[in-house]
Structure 1
Amino acid sequence: MKTLYAHRGMSALAPENTLAAFSLCPEHGLKWVECDVDILADGTVVVSHDDTLDRCTNHSGSLYDHTREDLEDIDAGSWFGDEFIGEKLPTFDQFITLMNILKLNVNVEIKSCTSGWENTEKLITGVIEGLKNLNREANVLVSCFNPLALAEFKRRCPDVAVACLFEKEMPEDWLSIMQACKADTIHISDEGLTKQKVEELKGHGLEVNVYTVNSLMRANQLFNWGVDGVFTDIGHQFPSRYRQG
């Protein structure tokens, strides 16, 4: 069974990384959601891809300058459509609560805090605490571009599966990085990805997931090459054989 990951939720249908976007997954047959987490000034873990508010809210500025109290005044939906006016920037705890209600599997991408390692450690702690409240029957995958952060998470949570995230240009020592993080899953960019590269990765016994694939034709090609899963904004457009109603 090939896996579709709802990239930041159903982000073609609702504002990315909001509860509204995650809530649409079950009706479209997607069992896995991907979300990004970062941290506020008071240690609150929030679901956000960017470390600034500028792109996906009605505010500007750094996440690291705001607190949970400020979330009440931040609109993360009106930029996308009128029906999402007032949609909030979710906390990780709110996300976990929703996952338990919807019975979904989660891929949590830990952002590498641009404000420094101290905040990154706090973020890792917050993610660990949040995941303790997740339904135990849910599958969990934690990913990160920063191998130091991912290795630290894995050290503290050896039983949780982790995935190394790599940009288009993978470092020559990528396998060493994977082994240092104790990762059996690799998340790799779709851009420039070849059949030869997929076969190399699969040859190491790895699970291979590709981001971000918004073409059905390309997804079909990748699956035929042996890719295990794709991250997509358009999961609702995939044929039913990829989706579970």
Structure 2
Amino acid sequence: MRDTVIYAHRGLNHAAPENTLAAFAAASRSGVTWIETDTDILADGTAVIMHDSRTDRTTNRSGSIYDLTTSDLDTIDAGSWFSGDFVGERVPTLRELVSFLGPHDLNLNLELKGNTQGRDRSIRLVETVLEELRRLRPGTRVLISSFSPLLLAEVHRRTDAYELAWLVDKGTIGEDWRSVMELCGATALHPSTAVVSNRCVVEEIRRAGFGVNVWTVNSVQEANKLVNWGCTGIITDIADQMVEAGRRR
């Protein structure tokens, strides 16, 4: 795995609460150079780092993120559910994450969540994300991914500054996958392990000229198999172990 990109899924989420600056710092300390994370927007248009559209699972707050504004983040604890060592950990904004990446030498795989609030809010999400990413330190690499090819196409329509990747699971990819990717400007496919069930699938995608970054791979043995098949990246909850395995090869 020495030449394979290892993406720390929601940061080093077994060492710190997912999608927090603590989890991203833990990833950096372990030698990871890429993190994977998620973004959506609050009621006031602020882009935040959170996987779910509700706060219930990963904070001390209950309810939809679409009802929150930036000032509400000061009252939300995103760490105590994980461990007493992280009481008071904040839900970071995308702006805070952008400022964090450069000093920690991290590159970013940013997943645009499928906003459920309609067209205008989805467009606002794309606009806000692109505005914030313009603040990145030169040299920081960015890969924008999404399960929504429409969101990817909207990004592609506005800029060619970032690589794009289409996220798929077994029930969301059809025989027209190549057409979808070309239409939305994606250069990589991010399939689940269920999609890349054999070497032939990976080889077909690679022959078409696309990268293949697989999620969520939590076994070094499985990762080695996928790399041997030709996968270009591994999205994992155990990025530190994957990096260490790569060093030993």
| TM-score (norm. length: structure 2) | 0.95
Distance 1:100 1:239 in 2: 20
Distance 2:159 2:19 in 1: 24
Per-residue CA shift, 1:175-194, capped at 9, x if unaligned? 11100011111100012522
Pairing partner for 1:13 from 1, 12, 15: 15
| Contact 1:165/1:186 (<8 A) preserved | yes
Distance 1:74 1:115 in 2: 22
Residue type of the alignment partner of 1:40: L
Shift of 1:243: 5.7
After superposition, where does 1:46-125 map in structure 2 within 5 Å? 46-125=48-127
Residue type of the alignment partner of 2:244: S
Q: Moved runs in structure 1, 4+ residues, more than 3 A?
A: none
83-92 or 112-121: which moved more?
112-121
Shift of 1:73: 0.6
Per-residue CA shift, 1:92-112, capped at 9, x if unaligned? 000001102112110110011
Pairing partner for 1:136 from 125, 135, 138: 138
- Number of the residue aligned with 2:220: 216
Shift of 1:240: 2.9
After superposition, where does 1:151-190 map in structure 2 within 5 Å? 151-169=153-171, 170-190=173-193
Distance 2:100 2:76 in 1: 20
| Contact 2:6/2:243 (<8 A) preserved | no
Distance 1:172 1:201 in 2: 12
Shift of 1:24: 1.1
With over 3 angstroms needed to count, the CA separation of the structure-2 counterparts of 1:239 and 1:88, relative to structure 1, is closer
- Number of the residue aligned with 2:209: 205
Distance 1:74 1:243 in 2: 39
Residue type of the alignment partner of 1:112: G
Shift of 1:241: 5.3
Pairing partner for 1:191 from 194, 200, 213: 194
Distance 2:165 2:152 in 1: 8
Shift of 1:142: 0.4
- Number of the residue aligned with 2:230: 226
Distance 1:233 1:117 in 2: 32
Per-residue CA shift, 1:132-176, capped at 9, x if unaligned? 011120111001111111100111112211111111232221111
Per-residue CA shift, 1:71-92, capped at 9, x if unaligned? 0111111000010110010000
Residue type of the alignment partner of 1:128: L
| Contact 1:28/1:243 (<8 A) preserved | no
With over 3 angstroms needed to count, the CA separation of the structure-2 counterparts of 1:125 and 1:4, relative to structure 1, is same
Residue type of the alignment partner of 2:109: N
Of all paired residues, the percent bearing the same amino acid is 45
Ranges in structure 1 where 5+ consecutive residues have no aligned partner: none
Distance 1:24 1:188 in 2: 26
- 1:236 equivalenced with 2:240 (yes/no): yes
- 1:150 equivalenced with 2:159 (yes/no): no
